[in-house]
Amino acid sequence: MWRIAQAPSICVLVSASLLSCAETQQANSVLVDASRNRSIQYKVWLPRVDGPAPLVIISHGTRGHISDHRWLADALVESGFAVVALNHPHDTRMDSTPAGMLRVWDRSLDISLLLTSLLNDPQWNESIDVERIGAAGYSSGGQTVIALAGGIYDPVLMGKYCASDRKGPECDLAEIVDIDFTDAGRSYRDERIKAVFAMAPPLGPGMIADELAQIEVPVGIVTAQDDDLITPAHHSEHYARHIPDAQLTLVPKGGHFVFVTTCAIVPTIVDFFIKEIDMCGREIDIDRESVQKNVAGLAIEFFETKLVSPD
C-alpha cells in the first residue's frame, strides 16, 4: 500500500546540554577493508540507557559527510537510540571520484561490513540490541538503505531513463567513466537490518520494480515536493509505489538539500562556486532547521514503531 502523508509539526528540541547528559560514549574510528582497498571513517554515539539500545546507521548523500546529518543523530540519541554514521570512501566531499559516485553498491557493502565489525567489537556489541537495527540515508544514502532492505539496482534501466526524454538533472551530475558493473545487480540485503528510512532517495528508475515488491521490512520515505534535482515522481514515488506498505511523507517545501545540516562551511563554499546547486537553500524561503526537526521526529516515530523486539 502506498500512503502519502503531509509532514506533521513534530519538533525534537536537542540542546548541547541535553546531549551531554544523554551521551555516555562517542568515538571516531576507521575500519580498513583490505579486500576492497577502502578505509571507512565512522563515528558512534551511545545514549544513556540501561541495557542494549536499538541502533540506527546513517548514510550520507553523494559527496557528503558524517557531519551532514548530525541533526538526525543528535535527535535519535536523545530518544534512546545508539547511532553510527560513516563516510563512504570515494564519495565524500574530501574524497570523491566519478567511479565512487557511480558504484553505489559499494556503499551497501560498507554498511554491512561496519555492522559486522561493531557487533564483533566488545567495546560496542553489548550496547547494541541486535534485534533492533535500522538504517537511515539521504539521497544516495537513501538508495543505499533501500538496497540493504532488498532493492536491486539495474544500471541498464537507469541508462535507459537517462537517455529518454523524461530524464532529470541528476543524470548529468556524474561524469561517465568506464567501470565494471558486474556486481551492480546483486542483492545486498542485510537480514540484520529490520527497518529503513530514506530521505530523497535517487535512482528510482534504475531499481527493479519486481524486487522492490519483495521487500518485507518496513520502509519510510520522506522527500520535498519541490525537489527539482531528484524529482519525486521518478524516484521517491517509484519506491513508494512498488515497496509493500511503504510510507511516503511529502515535505511541502525545502528542495533536495533541505536534509543537509544548515549551511556548514563546506556547503557554503560549494554554493559560492557552483551556482546551479543551492545547497544552502538561499533561494528557498523556509526554515531548514525547523524542517529537520520535524523530519527527525518522523524518523524517531518510525524507528520506535518499527524496531520492535520479537516476542
Instruction: Report residue 278's pLDDT band, with 50, 70 and 90 as the boundaries.
Output: low
Does residue 200 lie within any of the structural domains? yes
Does residue 49 lie within any of the structural domains? yes
Does residue 177 lie within any of the structural domains? yes
Q: What is the mean pLDDT of residues 191-210?
A: 98
CA–CA separation, 241 and 239 (whole Å): 6
Residue 271 has φ and ψ, to the nearest 5°, of: -55, -40
Does residue 60 lie within any of the structural domains? yes
Segment among 46-60, 257-271, 293-307 with least mean pLDDT: 257-271
Strands 23-33 and 38-47: antiparallel
Reduce the DSSP state of residue 115 to 3 states and report it.
helix
Instruction: Report residue 175's pLDDT band, with 50, 70 and 90 as the boundaries.
Output: confident
User: Domain span at residue 128?
Assistant: 3-306
Does residue 311 lie within any of the structural domains? no
CA–CA separation, 27 and 44 (whole Å): 5
CA–CA separation, 73 and 92 (whole Å): 18
Residue 119 has φ and ψ, to the nearest 5°, of: -70, -20
CB 300 within 8 Å of CB 76: yes
Residue 198 has pLDDT above 50, yes or no: yes
pLDDT on residue 299: 98
Does residue 27 lie within any of the structural domains? yes
Does residue 223 lie within any of the structural domains? yes
| CATH number, position 122 | 3.40.50.1820
Residue 10 has pLDDT above 60, yes or no: no
Q: What is the mean pLDDT of residues 106-124?
A: 96
Total domains in the fold of the chain: 1
Does residue 131 lie within any of the structural domains? yes
| pTM, rounded to two decimals | 0.87
